[in-house]
Structure 1
């Protein structure tokens, strides 16, 4: 079953043919600033399974770190995805229409989390990237 998502204004739409490989909550400063939230739920995907289905002319990208571009709707500003080397590899869980079929399994970059936010769940917490993962 495909997972579908869109931006706030509905101009940009996407589809993921397969489910998420992993989901987690990122507390880094870039995610906070890009989304205006204490943290952002991300879902990792196989780039081969992702495609934009509408509104590609409305997609803007910002290189927030070397080789990583945040994709967002230039009309409404919604954060949608992140591309690595030109291929979408992560999707903002909040942009999924309906149930994404995955739940966050961890918190990452908690060393730089918002001071005004307390993590109150029992998910594992990593100060930076989880062991074995690099940005």
Structure 2
């Protein structure tokens, strides 16, 4: 249930068959440079927004959502109709990564680059660059050069 005093944002897959809302504030926003995210997104970097699972509500097309998990750390979700990627559940972290590109009205503001040691696209934006993940997300917390 969405609490009325929380901001909510709408999102959807590429064709619109799957629609959802996220409510409240994301626990983090940034860019992931890992090989898995690059391969899954077919791009050099993936913009993420992290939410508590309770903040993500499927409002249409739940039956159209497919799941693939290469590892137990990530359950990647997509629309079975168009193939559009929607989000990734991270059970070990207790978070859901809703891809920033599929939330149409979220004022996206990245604060960190994760898994930057694997990057294929150097980004000089002044944001912290993490070797893997911040300590609070189970990583080493080690920074790397921009």
Instruction: Give the equivalent residue in structure 2 for 1:17.
Output: 23
Superposed, 1:58-69 pairs within 5 Å as 58-69=64-75
| Conserved? CA contact 1:30–1:64, under 8 Å | no
Q: Which has the higher contact order (CA 8 A, sep 6+)?
A: 1
Where does residue 118 of structure 1 map in the other structure?
Answer: 122
Query: Does 1:90 pair with 2:97?
Result: yes
Cα offsets for 1:28-76 (capped at 9, x unmatched): 0010011111111111112112110111111111103214201111222
Q: Structure 1: which 5+ runs fail to align?
A: none
In the alignment, the residues of structure 1 paired with residue 123 and residue 33 of structure 2 have an alpha-carbon distance, to the nearest angstrom, of: 10
Alignment of 1:71-82 (within 5 A): 71-82=77-88
Q: Aligned equivalents of 2:63 and 2:26: distance in 1?
A: 26
Which residue of structure 1 lines up, in the alignment, with residue 48 of structure 2?
A: 42
**Alignment partner of 1:70: what SS?**
strand
1:6-37 Cα shifts (integer Å, max 9, x gaps): 01101101111212121010000010011111
Give the count of matched residue pairs.
Answer: 132
Structure number with greater Rg is 2
Of stretches 23-32 and 49-58 in structure 1, the one that deviates more from structure 2 is: 49-58
TM-score, scaled relative to structure 1: 0.89
RMSD between superposed Cα atoms in Å: 1.8
Unaligned runs of 5+ in 2: 1-6, 140-146
